Structure 1
Amino acid sequence: MRVALLAESFLPHMNGVTGSVLHVLRHLKAEGHETLVIAPRAGEVTADLHGARTELLRSVPLPSYPEVRVVFARAARLTALLRSFQPDVVHLASPFVLGWQGLAAADALNIPTVAIYQTDVVAYAQKYGMPAATSFVEGHVARLHRRATLTLAPSSASTAQLEALGVDRIRRWGRGVDAVRFDPRHRNEAWRQSIAPAGETIVGYVGRLAPEKQVDDLRALANLPGTRLVIVGDGPSRAGLERMLPDAVFTGHLSGAELGEVMAGFDVFVHPGESETFGQTIQEALASGVPVVATGVGGPLDLVRSSIDGWLYRPGDLDDMRARVADLVGDEAKRRAFALAARESISGRTWDALGSQLVGHYRDAITLRPIDDALPARGRTRPAIAETGVSRRWTRFVALGDSITEGLCDGSRMPDGHYRGWADRLASLLAQTSPGPFRYANLAVRSRKMKDLLDEQVPHALTMKPDLVSILMGSNDLVGPQVNIPALVAQLEDAVRQVRASGADVLLATVFLPRRRAAMLFARRFAAFNSEMRRVAAETGAMMLDLEAMPALSELPMWSDDRVHLRPAGHRLVAYRAADVLGVPDAEALSGLDEAFHSDEMPLPGTWLRRDALPWVWRRLQGRTAGDGRIAKHLSYVELPGRGRRGRVPST
C-alpha cells in the first residue's frame, strides 16, 4: 500500500500530532508499505523517518505560538505531489489548513482520505480569546470531516463532539503508548532526591505550556503541604507560569529516555486541560505506574478509571482537584495500589496493535471511496461498509413494504402474473439455516406508502408475533410532488419502534434509484431520507441493509423495462446482500451459484411509453394506484422447509 501523510505540524517541533505520525511511519515501514510525508518546513529534520519520502513546504509561524506553523499551499501543488506519488490512501493528521487543501487535492484525484481528529481547535479558539472565530472554526471542522472518506476519533467524547457537528463515518482509533520507554522500572531515586531533598511527594505535569492546556490551574496545588510540583514542557505560557508558581520546578521540554525517567519519578500526575481529544501524556503516566488526577471531561474519561488508577475531578472545580491530589499525597498505600492498576490498564494499547487497526481503517476507506463517487447525492450521513450480521435462528419472518418487496417484475421461474421478489428469495435462504419449520409472510403491496406501513402493515404483522421483520418503504412517498421528509421519518421511526418493542428484530433497508437522468430529480430527497434512516437504525438497534451502498443496484441492467422495478438480477442482489447482513453462511457464494442457474426474463412486449408510463399517468389523474384493491400475496404465514425437510405447506 502507498500512503501519503499530510500533517499540520512536524519536526523539529515535537507534539502529539508529530509523535503519532512518527509511530505510524515506523509501523507502515515494518509492514512493507511506502509512505510520503507532506508537512510544514520548520527547521532541520534529523530524526529517523523510517524510509518515508518528504515534501516539506514553506510555512509561517502562528502569531504568539511560533512552534505551530501554517502552510498555505496551493491545491494544485498538492495535487501534483499526490499524482506523482499515486497513493492508495491519504492520511490527514489533525487536518485544518493544509489538511483542507490536501482533501481538495485528494478529491480531485478520487483518492480516499482518512482524517485523524486529534486537536480540538474549536476549544483552542475559545481559549485563545477568539469567540468571533469559534463558529467559523466549528463549521470548518464539520465540513472537513464530513468531506473525508473516514474520520478517526480517539475517544468517546471526541466522537460525540463530531457527531453533534453532523460528521458521519466516525471510527474509534486511540493512541498507542511506548510501554518500554514509559515503565515504572525507570524510577530514578537520585533524580527524585535532587528534586525533593526533604522527601516531598512529587506532583508532576507534562505537556505544552499554552493557554488551552490550562496549566495555570495548577496554582491550586502551589502550597499543598509535603509536595513538590514539577512541570515538564515548554510553550508560550512558560514565563507567566514561572512567575505564578515560583516554587515549582520547570524542566523545559524533555523527550526520549530522559522523559521516561522523569515521568516514572512522579508520585502523582495531574492533567488539568479540558479540551483534550485524547490525553497522550495521561496514558504515558499510567504506563509509568503513576496515578493520575485529571479533569472529568473529554479524552481522560476513556483513560482514567476513577478510584482504580486515579481520580477524575469536576471540570473547573480547582478545590476538587486539590482535594483529589491531597487524597493521594496523604495515602501511600492507595498510591501504590493505584500505581499497579495504572500500569495494568495500558496492556493492549501498543503502537503495533494500533498500527494494524489503522491499516484496517485505510482498507475500509479504499472500499468506501467508490461508493461515495457513485452516489447521485449525499445526505447528512453516507453509507457505511455493510457489516455481516451474527446469524440467529429466526423462525417467523414478515416482510413489509411496497412493490419492490412484493417482487414486481421478478417472474423468474414463476407462473404468469405471479412474482417472486427479494423477500421470497431471502425467506428461502433463511429457511435453510433453520433446523425446524420456518414461517414467512409478505404483507407488501405495490404503490403503498409510509402511512400504509404504519396504519395497516405493522399492526397486522404484530398480530403474527414475528421474530424478524423487514422494512423497505418510502420510495412512493419521495417521488410525490410535495414531500415532508421529517414527517416521513417520524412515521418510519414509529413503525420500527413498535416492532422492536414487540421483541422482534428489524432489517431496515435504505431506498434507492436507478441511474437515469429523470431519477436524479429525486436524488437529494432519497439521500436525506436514507441519512435519517441510518440514524433510526442506530438508535433503535435495527439491522441496516444499506442498499444505497451498493452502486451496482443502480445500474440499468438491474432494472426492468418499466424503469421503476428491479429485474430478477436486482432482486437476487438485494436478497443475497440481505442474507449476508443477517449472517446466512456463504451468502456471497450462493449468490454466484444462483445467478449461474437463472437467466432474466425477456423484455415485455410494447414500448415503455404505452405499456408503463401512460397507464401510470392515467391512474394518477383518476386518483388511483396500481395497488388499489390488491391484497398481500402472503397475508398469513406459509411454512418453508428447514434443513433436511421437503415441501411447502400453507399455514393458517
Structure 2
Amino acid sequence: MTDWPQRVAIISDAWHPQVNGVVRSLGQLVGELRARGIEVEVFGPDRFRTLPCPFYPEIRLALMPGQRLHKMLRDFKPDALHIATEGPLGLSARRFARAGGYAFTTSFHTRFPEYIAARLPFPRAWTEWIAYRWIRSFHAAGSAVMAATPSLIKELSGRGFANVCHWTRGVDTARFTPDLRQETEGLARPVFLYAGRLAVEKNIEAFLGLDLPGSKLVVGDGPDRASLEKRFPDARFTGMLKGADLTRAYASADVFVFPSKTDTFGLVMLEALACGTPVAAYPVMGPRDIITAADPGIGRLDEDLRVAALAALSADRSACRRFAERFSWSAASTMFLNNLVPVASRKSAAKSKGFKAGRLPQGARA
C-alpha cells in the first residue's frame, strides 16, 4: 500500500466563496482526500483580512497573512505542504517553507503572464518574459510543480521550469449529467453556450462575434460583463449559475463554445461533455489535450471558431457523456497524492525516498 500523508496542508489564494475552475478543482480534490481518511486543511483568503484584487474586485486577496498563516501551519503540523497559487498566501507559505527548510510542492493553474500582458500598456512579449521569469523562480523553490496536461508540461519545461509533473483533473459525473436537458425558453435552437468568467483573457468576443444560427447563451460573471452585454445585445446573459441551474444550462445547450487561448486545462469543457454537450474550440493547449485525445465525435477544434461550432452540432451526445466518464476525481486525487513530498525531506532527496511522514516540529519557527 502506498504510504500517503495523513495530514495535508493546501495553501491557495483561490478558495470559497470564489467561483472558478481552480476553486472547483481544489474542492473536489479535498473531498476525495477526506473520503480516504486524510486530514486536509485549506488555508484560503476566507481565514484572513482581505482586499479586492486590482483586476478582479470580486476576488479577495489576503492582506499581510504571514505571521498568522505561519502559526496556523505550525499548529496544524502537516505531513505534506502544497502551495496551489502564486498570490499573497502562496508567497507567504513559500517563505515559511524556505525559512524552515521544509519541502513542498506547487501547482501551475493559471497563465498569469498572459493575463497580465493583456491588461498592461507595455509590449506583450516583454511583459510575459518578465512575468514568467518571476513565476519560474517562485516554483523553483519547490520539489515539484504539478501541471494539468502534457501540453502544459512541455511548455513549462521549455520555459525552464524544473521538476514538472502531471496532475490531471476530473469531473463530477453525478452532478453534471444529461438528465436535466430541456427546451430553453425564448432561445431558438441551436443554442451555443459559453460558461465561465467574463474577462478579457477568456476571448469571449471571438465567440459572441461569430455569425451563427440559433442563439448564444452566456453563463457567468466578471469584470467584462457590462461591456459585453452592451456590445452583443442579441446574446442572453444569465449571470452566475450554480447547482442544478448550471447543469441544466450545460445539458440544454447544443454546443459548448470555448474561445479561450490561455487556459491551462478548461474544466468547463469536461463539465459540458459530462452533460452530453459537444465542445467547439481553438486547437490550443487545454482543448487540444482533451478533444483530440478522444473520438472526434465529441467536438471539433479549428482555427476558425465558426467552423468548429457548426461542425460540433453533428457530434454524438452519448459519446460526449461516455468520454467524460473516463475522468474520475478518484484517479486525479491518487495522482496528486503520488506527487506530494514529506515536509521534513530536503527537496533533493524527497522524490527518491518516497513519502515518509515528517510533520513540522512542535517548536518550528518561520
* 2:280 alignment partner, SS class: strand
Matched, 1:366 2:366: no
TM-score (norm 1): 0.50
Deviation at 1:97, TM superposition (A): 3.2
Corresponding residue for residue 10 of structure 2? 5
What is the number of residues matched between the two proteins? Answer: 344
Q: Equivalent residues in 2 for 1:490-569 (5 A)?
A: none
**What's the counterpart of residue 363 of structure 2?**
none
Match for residue 267 of structure 1 among 254, 263, 266: 254
Does 1:102 find its partner at 2:77? no
Partner residue in 2 for 1:325:
309
Say whether residues 1:22 and 2:55 are aligned partners: no
Residue 386 (structure 1) shift: 8.2
- In structure 2, the CA distance between the partners of 1:130 and 1:122, relative to structure 1 (3 Å rule), is farther
Q: 1:20 to 1:324 in 2, by over 3 A?
A: closer
User: Could you tell me which residue of structure 2 aligns to residue 70 of structure 1?
Assistant: 61
Deviation at 1:63, TM superposition (A): 2.0
Match of 2:134 in 1: 140
Residues 62-461 of structure 1: matches in 2 within 5 Å? 62-73=53-64, 75-129=66-120, 131=122, 133-189=127-183, 192=184, 194-196=185-187, 199-221=188-210, 223-225=211-213, 227-305=214-292, 307-314=296-303, 320-329=304-313, 334-335=314-315, 337=316, 339-362=317-340, 365-366=341-342, 370-372=345-347, 385=352
List per-residue Cα deviations over 1:303-341 (Å, max 9, x = no partner).
113733111122xxxxx1112223344xxxx23x2x222
Counterpart CA distance in 1 for 2:12 and 2:259 is 26
2:234 maps to a residue whose letter is D
* TM-aligned CA distance change 1:144 to 1:237, over 3 Å: same
Question: SS where residue 206 of structure 2 aligns?
Answer: helix
Match of 1:39 in 2: 44
Q: Give the 3-state SS of the residue equivalent to 2:261 in structure 1.
A: coil
Q: 2:241, 2:23 → 1: CA distance?
A: 15
Change (3 A) 1:284 1:74: closer
1:25 to 1:81, Cα distance in 2 relative to 1, 3 A: same
* CA distance in 1: counterparts of 2:101 and 2:346, whole angstroms: 11
Shift of 1:122: 1.1
Amino acid at match of 2:116: A
Maintained 8 Å contact 2:208/2:235: no
Whole-Å separation in 1 of the counterparts to 2:351 and 2:81: 19
Larger radius of gyration: 1
SS of alignment partner, residue 44 of structure 2 = strand
CA distance in 1, matches of 2:129, 2:352: 32
Q: Which amino acid aligns with 1:247?
A: D
Relative to structure 1, the CA distance from residue 107 to residue 139 in structure 2 (aligned partners, 3 Å threshold; closer, same or farther) is same
1:574-593 → structure 2 map (5 Å cutoff): none
Quote the Cα distance in structure 2 between the aligned partners of 1:19 and 1:354: 13
- Verify the 8 A CA contact 1:152 1:173 in the aligned structure 2: yes
Distance 1:28 1:255 in 2: 23
- Rounded to whole Å, the distance in 2 between the matches of 1:171 and 1:254 is 33
Q: Which runs of 4+ in 1 moved over 3 A?
A: 74-77, 130-136, 383-387
Q: Report the secondary structure of 1:311's partner residue.
A: strand
Structure 1 residues 80-89 or 230-239, which shifts more? 80-89
Deviation at 1:292, TM superposition (A): 0.6
Question: Hey, what's the Cα distance between the residues in 2 that align with 1:163 and 1:76?
Answer: 34
Distance in 2 of aligned mates of 1:13 and 1:162: 27
CA apart distance, 1:174: 1.4
Determine the C-alpha separation between the residues in 1 that align with 2:186 and 2:174: 24
Q: CA deviation at 1:219?
A: 2.9
Q: Given the two structures, how large is their TM-score scaled by the length of structure 2?
A: 0.87
Residues 425-450 of structure 1, C-alpha deviation per residue, up to 9 Å, x if partnerless? xxxxxxxxxxxxxxxxxxxxxxxxxx
* Deviations 1:446-503, CA, capped at 9 Å, x for gaps: xxxxxxxxxxxxxxxxxxxxxxxxxxxxxxxxxxxxxxxxxxxxxxxxxxxxxxxxxx
Q: Which has the higher contact order (CA 8 A, sep 6+)?
A: 2
Q: Retained in 1: the 8 A contact 2:280–2:309?
A: yes
- The answer for unaligned runs of 5 or more in structure 1 is 42-55, 315-319, 375-382, 388-652
State the AA in 2 paired with 1:205: Y
Q: Is the 8 A contact 2:251 2:276 kept in 1?
A: yes
CA contact (8 A) 2:147 2:153 kept: yes
Deviation at 1:20, TM superposition (A): 1.7
CA distance in 2, matches of 1:76, 1:209: 35
Q: 2: distance between equivalents of 1:139 and 1:205?
A: 33
User: How far 1:149 moved relative to its partner?
Assistant: 1.4
Contact kept? 1:220, 1:322, Cα under 8 Å: no
TM-superposition CA deviations, 1:328-363 (whole Å, max 9, x none): 44xxxx23x2x222212122311122122222222x
